[in-house]
Chains A and B, each alone.
Chain A
Amino acid sequence: QKEVEQDPGPLSVPEGAIVSLNCTYSNSAFQYFMWYRQYSRKGPELLMYTYSSGNKEDGRFTAQVDKSSKYISLFIRDSQPSDSATYLCAMKSSSGSRLTFGEGTQLTVNP
């Protein structure tokens, strides 16, 4: 079983929709949680970073972490065609250095 599970999609939504992206994980040592956006044939771009449990909001993006359920989410409000990309969740422990990634969810926002 993978340490981080992420539904690969693809997910297709109309412009303006609220998008919910999710990951589950099994390693209780994970303390730092990140969401990266990756456009085709480009490197991952850091979107959101949270530590431990709770919510964090940045513009149209909200990241949630529920450590009791080992479940993290990224919400995108008022989605735009420019949000079409692959979204990767990643996490690491406080003592570790490496990130463990999900396999990514491919999102398409249709005009």
Chain B
Amino acid sequence: DTGVSQDPRHKITKRGQNVTFRCDPISEHNRLYWYRQTLGQGPEFLTYFQNEAQLEKSRLLSDRFSAERPKGSFSTLEIQRTEQGDSAMYLCASSLVAGPSTIYFGEGSWLTVV
């Protein structure tokens, strides 16, 4: 399977703990995106990378959130000092820069903060 891969698929954590999600994009895609989706809502943009450079961050991405994409390959999204409001599905997506740049999503990582 050469789609977008995310790990872990589910995470339950206690409030105040740190969590990290990993995303492996489609291999030839140089853009990588993180979105957040809560129940009954569409995905909301968090941030994106072109190769290893983080080019845009949403105001939704508070200082407790940090994303990295070392060497322009996989990416990690870390949430520090988790809060109950962080409970959501975190979606990773990837695309090419050139052409129509259609965006393909992974299966998501579900986070529950208790």
Partner-B contacts on A (CB < 8 A): 4, 6, 8, 32, 34, 36, 41-46, 49, 51, 88, 90, 97-104
Contacts and interface: CB of A to CB of B under 8 A. Distances in A.
A34 B107 contact: no
A44 B105 contact: yes
Among A36, A99, A100, A103, the most chain B Cβ lie within 10 Å of the Cβ of: A99
Looking at chain B, what size class is its interface with the partner chain? 20 to 34
Contacts of A101: 42-44
List 6 tightest A-B contacts by C-beta distance, closest first: A101-B42, A98-B45, A43-B105, A43-B107, A43-B108, A44-B105
A43 B31 contact: no
Nearest to B46: A98
Interface of B: 4, 6, 31, 33, 35, 40-45, 48, 55-56, 58, 89, 91, 100-108, 110
Contacts of A32: 100
A41 B45 contact: no
B70 to A, nearest CB: 20
